[in-house]
Chain A
């Protein structure tokens, strides 16, 4: 079991470029999440998918789009990168059927720098 995997691990973009961050989980979880983490700001939820076929905005969705491709995969797209999107991005998943299944498991993260 690989758990939650993310690609790429590191990326440098120029302002205005686009890219897609990939996330996959092999735990048969229903729900998947994208967070960003900045110094002093903690983890902030960008988008989440409660189940296959659904997506919802989190706390900081502006400048991002997501796709829940299937139950395993959840991608995050930056259409026109801005320096303010320089951050560490984490994907997480959880079974999320009942309270006892709300435990979220995180991928290793993508470190993105926008110049």
Chain B
């Protein structure tokens, strides 16, 4: 079983819609959760961090964490074509310092 799992996609949404990206993780000891955005040919860019159960909003982005279900999600409201990218979920590896475990990524395509 993969430690961090994401739907590979591609996920296609129309411009202005809400895009929902999901991630599950296997280690209940993980406490820190991150979403990265990666444009084609570029490096991963940190867009959201979440550490507590519930929702965290930043502009059009909302991260949701449910530790009991071992589930973290990213919602993108009012999706724009510029949001088209691969989104990587990352989870800290417990008791291994700052080491992160990355999911395979979900490719998002926002159609005008």
Residues of A in contact with B, size category: 20 to 34
* B98 contacts across to A, CB distance below 8 A: 30-31, 50, 94-96, 101-102, 104
Q: Report if A45 contacts B (CB, 8 A).
A: yes
CB-contact partner of A102 in B45, B92, B103, B104, under 8 A: B92
Q: Report if A64 contacts B (CB, 8 A).
A: no
Residues of B in contact with A, size category: 20 to 34
Q: Take A103-B46, A104-B100 as given contacts and tell me if A43 and B88 are in contact as well, using a CB distance cutoff of 8 Å.
A: yes
- Min CB gap A1→B, angstroms: 15
Chain A, 93-113, CB within 8 A of any chain B CB? 94-96, 99-109
* A103 contacts across to B, CB distance below 8 A: 34, 46, 49
**Which A residues contact B (CB, under 8 angstroms)?**
30-31, 33, 40-43, 45, 48, 50, 58, 90, 94-96, 99-109
